[in-house]
């Protein structure tokens, strides 16, 4: 078994590269970085709309977040696959569809984290800033967001882990990420599904577990640095809102 | 009533209780005082076995407290314990807190428990707050409910672990008044407290502890006016300088 | 771009029957996974809290594994991989009797049980140690103190994440489509393939999932409110 899998391990890790496009774990990581990276500014914007004093910003953003959180990821992928080419008038690769879906999905969840991060800051921060004469915008930009984002670092890493897991949905639209590659290997070998999918699970476990430990370590450092301010609760890293 | 016989306790290498030997007589009110870390809370917690001991014996009314074969749950119904942090059950109202042990441990009927519970709340001055929840009560009120709860099983002995230390100053008096009335009614009490006026008024004996040792015992009058040990003298002068 | 929506054709036979069957399938899958997840989650949390250190570590490692692997990988491992470990007779029986439902329930149930386990644990951790001491000091046994003092508080504390994970479990049933299980997403896709009414079909599925998700969250709000202890 070991030899069979070692011949196939490269395709699991990097797809058909260099004889074809990048795939496997490498593509999974690229998708995750792109997805979360683009979702981040969008998520901050969405969060600011959610807590904005104007209903015209609050209501639509709240609806968007609830819809995205209430619909399974696979349905969102199908919607994107259908709507994106229709809306921009030309064919779109499965890769792009997946990135768009991940960005929207993660933006909704990120906005909840950013919102919680801002709302968990002591009121005294806002009061002090406004007393100094700062406007709402300036207070948000210079005082609240920087602190909220620093506190959110463990949650961000945790979201990155979630995104990695979410890329597996690419299987359904034939994006050559890790799960799809494992499916390919399984079709090639036919008689070793247990070994193939156990290896698949092991790869995900190693990557995601390492990153989760990273998140815990960062959480610990932040708690120690901010000693005196309310320490972060452990649930920040395994926040149920963020999983799935 | 309570007898400590060469009681020793270690936390790892740290000798928390050193050769404690002393008695508490029936109806006696003993105040245990001393600097923080002296082991006074540890000592009182060994009486109802919230803390274990490694050497020596503690007997309460003839029962060996640290005997392995003791029915601990039954035994604990005979010792009332009042905590510094009150530890009322937040999901139950005051009367429900008081009636929990009588109904679920002693098996009394709900009506009987309610009647006795209301009488106890009346005694601590909180009958009108029977259906209030702990979060709706002030610290002093919570502690008084906690005392009523501890009294519900009619224990012959009451233990108090710094009952007023977590209270705002203006609420200390109402709790001490309840404790004083208990003392006057003849309850056997052991209290760890910093309230020296309470000791002067109702205590029969003062035990002074330092670094796990029972350094000095005496009547309040003797102890406060003329302590025999240097450590006690230093402790009292530190107290007075506030 | 002419938009011509026609929901009627979707809701006529034979599609309506398929949709109703899909509804039942999704309901069965959700119920089976949820039951497995809750029961196992509580058992695991109890093991973690009351068991030896090595048991605690073992369960923690298992929980970390379940939470680090995507649901799709879990589904494939169980349906394609672990099924091959069964004796031949069992395999044929399973294949004839809704194998996808069985293995999907196991995969989803096991994965979500890890999350429920952590929810129960965090609920228990939220309770100050003094509560246990006070209960035991009154003479309540360990079991009685858990039953009357600790667990009622723990359940209240763990309700919000518990509801959240229930909604996530429900959404995860859609992934069983990758196994060919005839749940809602799969059936909607089939209908879409046959009728080419993509927008209508997808909207139907979306409305279904949204309604149930929001409904579950609503139930959660009601339950949390009922359990709430009156504050100042």
In A, which residues are within 8 Å of C73 by CB distance? 168, 179, 182, 197, 200-201, 204
Q: Is the pLDDT of residue B118 over 90?
A: yes
Chain A residue with CA closest to C115: the answer is A240
Number of Cβ within a 10 Å radius of residue A18: 8
Residue A244: the pLDDT is 37
Element containing residue C212 per DSSP (H, E): helix C198-227
Average pLDDT of span B169-195: 92
Partner residue opposite C68 with nearest CB, options A67, A179, A208 = A208
Does residue C229 surpass a pLDDT of 70?
A: yes
- Structural domain count, chain C: 1
Distance in Å, alpha carbon of A47 to nearest chain C alpha carbon: 20
What is the rounded average pLDDT of the residues A219-235?
64
Is residue B4 within 8 A of residue B56, CB to CB? The reply is: yes
Asked if the structure places residue C3 within a domain, the reply is: no
pLDDT at A20: 78
Q: Is C231 within the bounds of a domain?
A: no
CATH of domain A2-234: 1.10.3720.10
What's the confidence (pLDDT) of residue A241? 42
Q: What percent of chain C has pLDDT over 70?
A: 96
Q: What is the mean pLDDT of residues B148-157?
A: 94
As a whole number of Å, the end-to-end CA separation of chain A is 33
pLDDT value of residue A223: 78
pLDDT of residue C173: 96
Distance from CA of C198 to the nearest CA of A (A): 8
Q: Quick check: B141 contacting C, CB < 8 Å? A: no
Residue pLDDT, tens place only, B45-74 = 999 999 999 999 999 988 899 988 889 899
Nearest CA in chain C to A160: C68
What is the distance between the alpha carbons of residues A26 and A99, in angstroms, rounded to a whole number?
15
> Does the structure show a pLDDT above 80 at B104?
yes
Is residue C7's pLDDT more than 80? no
Nearest to C130 among B48, B73, B83 (CB): B83
Question: What average pLDDT does chain C have?
Answer: 90
Q: Which residue has the higher pLDDT, A217 or C6?
A: A217
With 50 as the cut, is the pLDDT of residue C197 above it? yes
Q: What pLDDT score was predicted for residue A242? A: 40
Using 50, 70 and 90 to split pLDDT, how confident is the model at A4? Answer: low
Q: Please state the φ and ψ torsions of residue C78, each to the nearest 5 degrees.
A: -75, -50
pLDDT band, residue A98 (cuts 50/70/90):
very high
Q: For residue C168, give the chain A residue with the closest CA.
A: A244
Provide the pLDDT for residue B146: 95
Chains C and B contact (Cβ–Cβ under 8 Å for 3 or more pairs): yes
Chain A positions in Cβ-Cβ contact with residue C164 (cut-off 8 Å): 240-241
Nearest to B87 among C130, C141, C156 (CB): C130
Contacts of A128 (CB under 8 A, 6+ apart): none
Evaluate whether ipTM surpasses 0.90: no
The residues with which B80 forms a beta bridge, in sequence order, are B158
> Between chain B and chain A, are at least 3 CB pairs below 8 A?
no
Is B71 in CB contact (< 8 Å) with chain C?
Answer: no
What are A167-205's pLDDT values in tens digits? 999 999 999 999 999 999 899 888 889 999 999 999 999
Classify B31 as helix, strand or coil: strand
pLDDT above 80: residue A95: yes
Instruction: Give pLDDT, residue C166.
Output: 95
Q: Which chains touch C (3 or more CB pairs under 8 A)?
A: A, B
Q: How confident is the model at residue A235 (pLDDT cuts 50, 70, 90)?
A: very low
Buried b (16+ CB within 10 A) or exposed e, B162-180: bbbeebeeebbebbbebbe
pLDDT computed for residue A228 by the predictor = 52
Contacts of C174 in chain A (CB under 8 A): 72-75
Q: In this predicted structure, what is the pLDDT of residue B50?
A: 92
- Confirm if C47 and C121 have CB atoms less than 8 A apart: no
Q: What is the mean pLDDT of chain A?
A: 85
Q: Min CA distance, C113 vs chain B (Å)?
A: 27
Q: Is residue C8 part of a domain?
A: no
Mean pLDDT of B172-201: 92
Beta strands in chain B (DSSP E): 2-11, 14-24, 29-33, 55-60, 63-64, 79-82, 157-161, 188-192, 205-210, 213-218
Contact C81 A194 (CB under 8 A): yes
Residue C152 lies in a domain: yes
At C156, which CATH number? 1.10.3720.10
CA torsion through residues B182, B186, B187, B191, sign: positive
**Does residue B241 have a pLDDT over 50?**
yes
C140 interaction partners in chain B (CB closer than 8 Å): 73, 100-101, 104-105
Q: What is the mean pLDDT of chain B?
A: 91
pLDDT band at A239 (very low <50, low <70, confident <90, very high): very low
Hey, which of A49-53, A221-225, B121-125 has the most confident mean pLDDT? B121-125
The predicted pLDDT at position C1 comes to: 44
């Amino acid at each position: 078994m070991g030899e069979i899998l070692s011949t196939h391990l490269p395709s699991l890790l990097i797809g058909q590269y260099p004889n074809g496009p990048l795939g496997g774990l490498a593509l999974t990581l690229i998708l995750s970085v792109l997805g979360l990276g683009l979702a981040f500014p969008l998520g901050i914007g969405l969060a600011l709309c959610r807590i904005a004093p104007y209903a015209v910003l609050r209501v639509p953003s709240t609806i968007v977040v609830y819809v995205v959180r209430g619909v399974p990821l696979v349905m969102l992928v199908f919607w994107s696959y259908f709507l994106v080419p229709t809306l921009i008038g030309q064919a779109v690769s499965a890769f792009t569809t997946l990135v768009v879906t991940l960005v929207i999905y993660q933006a909704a969840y990120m906005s909840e984290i950013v919102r919680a991060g801002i709302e968990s800051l002591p009121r005294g921060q806002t009061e002090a800033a406004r007393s100094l004469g700062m406007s709402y915008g300036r207070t948000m930009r210079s005082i609240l967001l920087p602190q909220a984002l620093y506190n959110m670092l463990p949650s961000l890493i945790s979201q990155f882990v979630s995104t990695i897991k979410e890329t597996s949905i690419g299987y359904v639209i034939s994006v050559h990420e890790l799960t799809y590659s494992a499916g390919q290997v399984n079709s090639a070998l036919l008689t070793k599904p247990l070994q193939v999918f156990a290896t698949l699970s092991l790869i995900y476990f190693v990557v995601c577990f390492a990153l989760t430990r990273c998140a815990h370590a960062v959480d610990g450092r932040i708690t120690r640095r901010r000693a005196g301010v309310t320490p972060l609760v452990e649930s920040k890293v395994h926040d149920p809102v963020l999983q799935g | 009533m309570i007898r400590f016989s060469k009681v020793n306790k270690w936390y790892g290498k740290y000798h928390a209780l050193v050769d404690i030997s002393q008695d508490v007589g029936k109806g006696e009110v003993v105040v245990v005082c001393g600097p923080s870390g002296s082991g006074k809370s540890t000592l009182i917690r060994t009486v109802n076995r919230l803390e274990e001991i490694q050497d020596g014996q503690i007997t309460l009314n003839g029962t060996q407290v640290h005997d392995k074969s003791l029915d601990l749950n039954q035994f604990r119904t005979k010792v009332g314990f009042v905590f510094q942090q009150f530890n009322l059950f937040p999901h139950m109202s005051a009367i429900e807190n008081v009636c929990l042990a009588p109904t679920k441990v002693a098996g009394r009927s709900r009506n009987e428990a309610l009647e006795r519970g209301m009488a106890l709340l009346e005694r601590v001055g909180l009958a009108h707050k029977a259906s209030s929840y702990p979060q709706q009560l002030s610290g002093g009120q919570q502690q008084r409910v906690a005392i009523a709860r501890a009294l519900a099983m009619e224990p012959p002995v009451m233990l108090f672990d710094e009952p007023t230390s977590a209270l705002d100053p203006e609420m200390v008096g109402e709790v001490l008044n309840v404790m004083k009335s208990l003392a006057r009614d003849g309850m056997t009490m052991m209290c760890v407290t910093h309230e020296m006026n309470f000791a002067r008024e109702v205590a029969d004996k003062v035990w002074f502890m330092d670094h796990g040792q029972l350094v000095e015992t005496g009547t309040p009058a003797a102890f406060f006016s003329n302590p025999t040990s240097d450590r006690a003298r230093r402790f009292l002068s530190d107290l007075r300088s506030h | 771009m002419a938009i011509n929506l026609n929901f009627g054709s979707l809701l006529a036979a034979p599609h309506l029957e398929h949709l109703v069957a899909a509804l039942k399938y999704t309901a069965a899958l959700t119920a089976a996974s949820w039951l497995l997840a809750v029961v196992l989650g509580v058992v695991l949390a109890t093991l973690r809290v009351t068991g030896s250190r090595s048991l605690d570590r073992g369960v923690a490692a298992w929980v970390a594994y379940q939470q680090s692997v995507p649901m799709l990988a879990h589904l494939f491992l169980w349906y394609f991989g672990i099924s091959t470990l069964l004796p031949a007779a069992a395999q044929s029986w399973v294949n004839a009797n809704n194998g996808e439902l069985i293995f999907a329930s196991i995969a989803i149930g096991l994965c979500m049980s890890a999350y429920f386990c952590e929810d129960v644990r965090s609920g228990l951790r939220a309770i100050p140690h003094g509560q246990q001491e006070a209960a035991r000091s009154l003479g309540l046994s360990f079991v009685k103190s858990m039953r009357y003092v600790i667990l009622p508080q723990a359940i209240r504390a763990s309700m919000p994440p518990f509801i959240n994970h229930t909604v996530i479990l429900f959404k995860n049933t859609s992934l069983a489509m990758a196994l060919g299980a005839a749940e809602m997403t799969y059936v909607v896709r089939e209908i879409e393939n046959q009728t080419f009414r993509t927008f209508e079909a997808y909207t139907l599925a979306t409305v279904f999932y949204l309604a149930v998700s929001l409904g579950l969250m609503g139930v959660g709000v009601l339950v949390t409110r009922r359990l709430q202890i009156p504050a100042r």
